[in-house]
Structure 1
Amino acid sequence: MALAPKFAGQKFSALNAPTLHTLELYLDYVCPFSQKMFNTVYSSVIPLIKQKYASKVQILFRQQIQPWHPSSTLVHEAGVAVLKLEPGKFWDFSKLLFDDAKSFYDVNVVNETRNQTYERLSKIGAKVGISEQKMFDLLKISDKPAEDGSLNTGNGVTNELKVLVKMNRMQGVHVTPTVVFDGVVENGISSSFSGKQWEEWLEKNVA
């Protein structure tokens, strides 16, 4: 599936050129299995692609909201804010967010307001060099009605988030993580794959 230019930060490519294959990772920031897969991809698979498959494989991080965890929407909104402000820092931000993911699990957000959660997410953005204030300004929700009287005012990333949700629904993805290789769901890849298993899989499947 194509990637709109405004979401370009979701793509990892070792070269600024077309590649033969595309790995799409449908991940949720508050899913522990997504965290496990992302960490292995970030620490082992990306360096391997740079070394051996730079012209052959690119990776797309598909943000998959899992709505039974209400904070899932909020953390993915933060990812979208990063894409709008500093797209080149999306992967590094995602690494820090996954590292701190448990603090956004249900039990740890139930007693804070939505804007308080956004404040914490903006502080993570600041750790990778994103303006904390600009990020919070995109995320915060006003407690005042809009000029037209609307009470569902959304925030500065609502429209982009709608597009991401629509794209993922068109693919019918449900489980996280889900891996899609060249447009086809690859059920042979597990969240528990080690770096060595990823290496073996790439050797077998990359032309």
Structure 2
Amino acid sequence: MALPPKFAGQKLASASIQPKAVHTLELYLDYVCPFSAKMFKTVYTSPLRSLLTEKYGSNLVVIFRQQIQPWHPSSTLTHEAGAAVLKLAPEKFLSFSERLFEEQKSFFDVNVVNETRNATYKRLSKLAGEVGVDEGEVYKLLEISDKPGEDGSLNSGNGVTNDVKVMVKMNRLVGVHVTPTVVFDGVVENSISSGWTEGQWEEWFGRNVV
């Protein structure tokens, strides 16, 4: 969990160094949630992104937390694709996320119900390829075999199953449910809305990131 800068004294540090902590802003977003797409676009694809890295970068860490919404089965598949990109090319994760949010409607329930799981994975792998990640390697991590595992298992998952388990466990520990959810310095910040403009974000940062 994040440590608010005002509590930096709780941090163990060398006796010769003043304990320091930075603010942490965590955005819990789901790839098939329209409101998550709106927040991602405002924060990550507008001039606000430069403000966060250049003006506040030394005093603020922004984290995109992948939040699976299981009532949309494709949510798990899309986040598995995000996990595959993180494993293969972490520097491409935000570019892939931007591309996936642009195409999110093609992964809504109506548009995936009649295709196989691996077919959905192939489409997700293609999106990863569009931002410079090896499409074949992404699919290799995502593909589900139709043959039993060496131990006879019929439920062995894929190459990112264990990573997704960790993500889900982390999110459950803080009790996040709806998307988007914003957590600032370890506390849910209910005042922030997906409909916020760049100006509203800038005003909030000016008051809270000091």
TM over 0.5: yes
Kindly tell me the number of residue pairs found equivalent between the two proteins.
192
CA gap 1:67/1:199 in 2 versus in 1, 3 angstroms: same
Whole-angstrom distance in 1 between the partners of 2:198 and 2:31: 20
* Counterpart pick for 1:142 among 137, 141, 145: 145
Q: In structure 2, the residue corresponding to 1:164 is in which secondary structure?
A: helix
Q: In structure 1, the residue corresponding to 2:45 is in which secondary structure?
A: helix
- Alpha-carbon distance, 1:19 to partner: 6.3
Partner of 2:69: 66
Partner of 1:43: 45
Partner of 1:184: 187
Partner of 2:155: 152
Root-mean-square deviation (CA), in Å?
1.1
**Which has the higher Rg, Structure 1 or Structure 2?**
2
What amino acid sits opposite 1:22 in the alignment? T
1:87 aligns with 2:90: yes
CA gap 1:96/1:19 in 2 versus in 1, 3 angstroms: farther
Q: In structure 2, the residue corresponding to 1:190 is in which secondary structure?
A: coil
Deviations 1:39-78 (A, max 9, x none): 0001233211123112111110100000000000000000
What amino acid sits opposite 2:102 in the alignment? D
* Counterpart pick for 1:167 among 148, 151, 170: 170
Whole-angstrom distance in 1 between the partners of 2:101 and 2:148: 34
Deviations 1:183-202 (A, max 9, x none): 01000100000111100000
Q: In structure 1, the residue corresponding to 2:137 is in which secondary structure?
A: helix
Unaligned runs of 5+ in 2: 3-19
1:130 aligns with 2:130: no
What amino acid sits opposite 2:157 in the alignment? G
- Alpha-carbon distance, 1:23 to partner: 0.4
| TM-score of the superposed pair, with normalisation by structure 2 | 0.89
* Counterpart pick for 1:29 among 28, 31, 53: 31
Whole-angstrom distance in 2 between the partners of 1:169 and 1:141: 26
Runs of 4+ in 1 over 4 A off after TM superposition: none
Whole-angstrom distance in 2 between the partners of 1:81 and 1:121: 10
Partner of 2:15: none
Partner of 1:109: 112
Q: In structure 2, the residue corresponding to 1:22 is in which secondary structure?
A: strand
Q: In structure 1, the residue corresponding to 2:154 is in which secondary structure?
A: coil
* Counterpart pick for 2:22 among 17, 20, 36: 20
Contact 1:179 1:186 (C-alpha < 8 Å) held by counterparts: yes
